Amino acid sequence: MHKDGGKRPDDDTEAGRTFAAVALRRVLALVASGEATSRVQIARQTSLARSTIGQHVDYLLRRGIFEETETGASVRGRPPKMLTISPRAGTVAVADVDVSTTRVAIADLTGRLLGRDVLAIPVEEGPDALLDALTERLLALLAAHGGDDVPVREVVVGLPGPVDFQHGCAVRPPIMPGWDAYPVGARLRERFGAPVVVDNDVNLMALGEAAREDIDPPLLAVKIGGGIGAGIITADGRVHRGADGAAGDIGHLRASSHTDTLCRCGKTGCVEAVASHSAVLRELGFLDGENGARDIANGTRLLTEAVANGDPRALYQVRQAATEIGEVVAMLVHMYNPRTLVLGGPLSEQRDELLSGVRAVVYQRALPLATRRLTITTTEPDSDPALRGAISLATRDIFAPDGITRLLATGD
C-alpha cells in the first residue's frame, strides 16, 4: 500500500508487478509526450485492456501526476475528458549563467514557464557568490508558485565554458576564474534535493532553438559572446557532446588572419581572440580590460549605437568578426551538414551586419550540396533560448525511462 491509500495496479504477484510497472510507465509516457490525451487514445496506442488502463490512470490521478478535465459538452452520454500532466506533479528549475548576468526560470513538467528573473552578478565573482544568489532567487520563484507542495524534479544549469557533463563541473574555463572543477552539480543537488544537470550554455541554446516550430534539425547554433562556442543538435533532436563534452568548443580554432593576437587560453590566433563580442568591444575601445564583465552591458549599448549611426570603425569591426566566424562556420557546415545555422549571443544583436558577413563566407566557401537547403538565421530578440533549452532538457530527462522510474518512486 502507498501513503496515498492506493495499491499499485496488479501488484499481487511478482509477474503482475513487473507487467504493471512496464504498463504504468507506458501510460505515463504516452500522456507526457502528448501522443495520447484520453483513456480511449491510450487504448488505441497500446494492447492494454480498458480496465487495466483505468487502473493505471486512476493511480496516476491519485498520485497527483495526471489531471483529467472535461473538454466540453458531448452529443451523447458523458462529456469527453482530457488527460494532461498535472501542474502539481512537479517543477523544474533552470539557470543560464553568462559572463555579466545570470537568467533563472522555473517551469512545470509540461514545459510551461511559470516565472523567471535576471541576476546582475558577473561570473568572475566566483561560484560561491553566484550559486548562492542563483539558489536564493530560484527558491523565491518556487515559493511564489507552490512552494513545498510542488516538488522540484530536476535542476539544469548552463555555464559559459567547457563542462564535464558527467561530473557536473566546469573544466579550465578561460573566462570563469575560480570555477575549474568546482562541484556545481553536487552543491545544487544538496540545496534542491533533486537531480542536477550541468551543461555548456551553447548546448542549451541549441536545444532551445531546436524547439522552435520554424527550425529544422540537424541544427548548428553558434554563440558569439565573451567567447565563441557551438552547439550541435542531431537529426533525432539530441545534443552531440563528444567523448568528453568538448564538442563545439570552436573559439580556439585558428582564425584566418590576426595570427599573432594572444588569446586568453595562452595560444595566438584563436578566432575567439579576434571575433568574439568582447574582442570587438575591446578593439573599439568600448570595453575596459580591467573591469571586464561589469562594462559589457555599457559596451554593448555603445556598439549598437555606433552601428545604428553608421560609424565606419564599428561597421568594419563587426564585418571583420563576421568574416572570421564565417570561415570557421563554413568548415562546420561541411563537417556536420546542418539544415539550420543559428547565430546567437550579444553580437547577434547586430543582426544585419553579422548575418550578411557570415552568409557571404559560408556560401562562398562551402559546396552547394552542403548549402542548398541551409537556413542561416539569428536567435529571436529576448527569447532566452538557453532557458528554453534547459527546460526542454529537464522535461525530457524526467519522462525518459529512468526519470519515470524516479517520478513514480517518489512518495512510495
**How many whole angstroms separate alpha carbon 329 and alpha carbon 279?**
18
Residue 363: is its pLDDT beyond 50?
yes
Q: What is the pLDDT, as a whole number, of residue 89?
A: 94
| 347-373: average pLDDT | 94
Q: How far is CA 190 from CA 155, 180, 185, 195, 404, in A?
A: 11, 19, 9, 9, 21
* Range 213-379 has CATH code 3.30.420.40: yes
Coil, strand, or helix at residue 10?
coil
Q: Which of 43, 80, 82 is nearest to 66 (CA)?
A: 82
Cis ω on the peptide bond leading into residue 218 (within 30° of 0)? Answer: yes
Note the CATH number of domain 14-85.
1.10.10.10
| 320-330: average pLDDT | 96
- pLDDT, the chain, mean: 90
Residue 8 has which C-alpha cell?
A: 499499485
Residue 292: is its pLDDT beyond 70?
no
What are φ and ψ of residue 12, in 5° steps?
-80, -30
Asked whether 93 and 152 are in contact (CB, 8 A), the reply is yes
Residue 364: is its pLDDT beyond 50?
yes
Residue 322 has which C-alpha cell?
A: 563576421
Single-letter code of the amino acid located at 159? L
CATH topology of domain 89-200+387-404: Nucleotidyltransferase; domain 5 (3.30.420)
**Eight-state DSSP code of residue 182:** -
Q: What is the pLDDT, as a whole number, of residue 383?
A: 87
Mind listing the pLDDT tens digit for each residue in 202-241? 999 999 999 988 889 999 999 999 899 999 999 999 999 9
Q: What is the pLDDT, as a whole number, of residue 2?
A: 44
What are φ and ψ of residue 198, in 5° steps?
-115, 125
What are φ and ψ of residue 200, in 5° steps?
-70, 140
- For residue 363, the surrounding DSSP H or E stretch is helix 351-365
Q: What is the pLDDT, as a whole number, of residue 77?
A: 61
Coil, strand, or helix at residue 110?
coil
Enumerate residues 6+ apart whose C-beta is below 8 A from 402: none
Q: Do domains 89-200+387-404 and 213-379 have the same CATH topology?
A: yes
Q: What is the pLDDT, as a whole number, of residue 1?
A: 40
Predicted TM-score (pTM) of this structure: 0.90
H-type helices in 122-249, by residue range? Answer: 127-144, 184-192, 201-210
Q: What is the pLDDT, as a whole number, of residue 72?
A: 61
Single-letter code of the amino acid located at 296? I
Q: Where are the domains of the chain?
A: 14-85, 89-200+387-404, 213-379
Range with lowest mean pLDDT among 105-109, 179-183, 407-411? 407-411
What are φ and ψ of residue 173, in 5° steps?
-75, 125
Rg, C-alpha atoms of the chain: 24
Residue 142 has which C-alpha cell?
A: 518556487
Residue 332: is its pLDDT beyond 90?
yes
Q: What is the pLDDT, as a whole number, of residue 100?
A: 86
Single-letter code of the amino acid located at 96? D
Asked whether 190 and 200 are in contact (CB, 8 A), the reply is no
pLDDT over 70, % of the chain: 92
Q: What is the pLDDT, as a whole number, of residue 392?
A: 96
pLDDT over 90, % of the chain: 73
Confidence of residue 74 (pLDDT cuts 50, 70, 90): low
**How many whole angstroms separate alpha carbon 124 and alpha carbon 355?**
30
Residue 351 has which C-alpha cell?
A: 543582426
Residue 258: is its pLDDT beyond 80?
no
Q: What is the pLDDT, as a whole number, of residue 6?
A: 45
Enumerate residues 6+ apart whose C-beta is below 8 A from 408: 24, 25, 28, 63, 65
CA angle 97, 98, 100 (to 5 degrees): 120
Q: Which of 214, 212, 210 is nearest to 232 (CA)?
A: 210
